[in-house]
Amino acid sequence: MTPQSPPTQPKTSVVPRRALRDGVYDAILEKLLDGSTPPGSSLNIDSLSRELGVSQTPVREALVQMEHTGLVARTALKGYRVAPPLSADQMTELMDARAVVELAAVERAALRAADLLSELRAAHARHVLAAHEVARLRSGEGPPTGYADLRECFTADWAFHLVIIRAGGNHFLTQMAESLNAHAHRLRQSVDHGTFDTDQAVTEHAAILAAFESDDPTAPVEAMRAHLTAIDRRSHAEEDGGG
């Protein structure tokens, strides 16, 4: 009689654990970006785990992930603290790096514009709806939702960029772009939470979409360059106290 192999254990813990970690990451990120946990604030793992109703492990994992993007800093014997906002020079360096990576991806994506138009139009429509909801809630037409209404708009904004970046067909460019977007959260720490550039971003995305719809393969690159330059200009205006 052939001996039976011992039953294999189902691998059920990896995805739920990752989902839990990601959920904790999003919850802590919201605290950092909504102004309730300002730069320099201490982030106590035990307190966060009690507040979020989870064990300390996913909190610790989320903070390690945030440390890699510069959102938090860890000091020996003192634990984690919210990192300071990006300086003006760091903002410029971040946007310069985004331009290098994204313009390279756009140049490649423009060669297959017809293949991405449907997905890009859908991403733009989602961004328009999210921006409209932010404007509606900020005008007092709906119940206040804190940072949650902005999170959907930021997500839709980045999703538009990702459609183009992925269409470039270079996985390494995509990885670099996603890493830089994680750092961009620190730029959002610097924004006055009473003013946002959602309307400008929607208008600039519309110009990028129109460029991809044109027959000019150079137009998407120039439209994206203009958009990234405008983001840089607005970020410095916020830093300087302007509008």
CATH code, domain carrying 66:
1.10.10.10
Based on the fold, state whether residues 37 and 96 are members of the same structural domain. Answer: no
Tracing tokens 């300071």 back to the chain, one arrives at 84
Based on the fold, state whether residues 93 and 76 are members of the same structural domain. Answer: no
Q: What is the CATH number of the domain that holds 222?
A: 1.20.120.530
What confidence score (pLDDT) does residue 27 get?
Answer: 86
What confidence score (pLDDT) does residue 147 get?
Answer: 62
Nearest CA to 24 among 2, 69, 55, 1? 55
Beta strands in 24-175 (DSSP E): 42-43, 72-75, 79-82
- The answer to whether residue 35 is domain-embedded is yes
Based on the fold, state whether residues 103 and 164 are members of the same structural domain. Answer: yes
Based on the fold, state whether residues 133 and 39 are members of the same structural domain. Answer: no
What confidence score (pLDDT) does residue 161 get?
Answer: 97
Number of structural domains in the chain:
2
Based on the fold, state whether residues 150 and 200 are members of the same structural domain. Answer: yes
Angle at 28 between CA 82 and CA 52, to 5 degrees: 130
Based on the fold, state whether residues 24 and 143 are members of the same structural domain. Answer: no
- The answer to whether residue 217 is domain-embedded is yes
- The answer to whether residue 216 is domain-embedded is yes
What confidence score (pLDDT) does residue 83 get?
Answer: 86
Based on the fold, state whether residues 78 and 174 are members of the same structural domain. Answer: no
Based on the fold, state whether residues 45 and 127 are members of the same structural domain. Answer: no
- The answer to whether residue 158 is domain-embedded is yes
Computed on alpha carbons and rounded to an integer, the radius of gyration of the chain in Å comes to 21
Task: Report how far residue 117's alpha carbon sits from residue 123's, in angstroms, rounded to the nearest whole number.
Answer: 10
Pair 86, 191: CB distance under 8 Å: no
- The answer to whether residue 2 is domain-embedded is no
Domain boundary pick from 22, 48, 82: 82
pTM (global) more than 0.85: no
Tracing tokens 């102004």 back to the chain, one arrives at 35
User: Letter for the amino acid at 121?
Assistant: R
Domain boundary pick from 67, 82, 97: 82
Based on the fold, state whether residues 159 and 232 are members of the same structural domain. Answer: yes
Domain limits at 52? 14-82
The separation between the first and the last C-alpha atoms of the chain, rounded to the nearest angstrom, is 80
Domain boundary pick from 31, 61, 82: 82
Strands across the sheet with 72-75, in order?
42-43, 79-82, 72-75
What confidence score (pLDDT) does residue 13 get?
Answer: 45
Based on the fold, state whether residues 101 and 165 are members of the same structural domain. Answer: yes
Based on the fold, state whether residues 96 and 209 are members of the same structural domain. Answer: yes
- Residues of the chain with pLDDT below 50 are 9-14, 143-144, 192-195, 241-243
- The answer to whether residue 8 is domain-embedded is no
* Residue 113 CB-density burial (10 A; 0-12 exposed, 13-18 middle, 19+ buried): buried
Two tokens at 86?
């990006």
Handedness of CA 222, 152, 95, 236 (dihedral sign): positive
- The answer to whether residue 109 is domain-embedded is yes
Based on the fold, state whether residues 70 and 94 are members of the same structural domain. Answer: no
- The answer to whether residue 1 is domain-embedded is no
Dihedral (C-alpha) 165, 169, 173, 176: value to the nearest 10 degrees?
A: 70
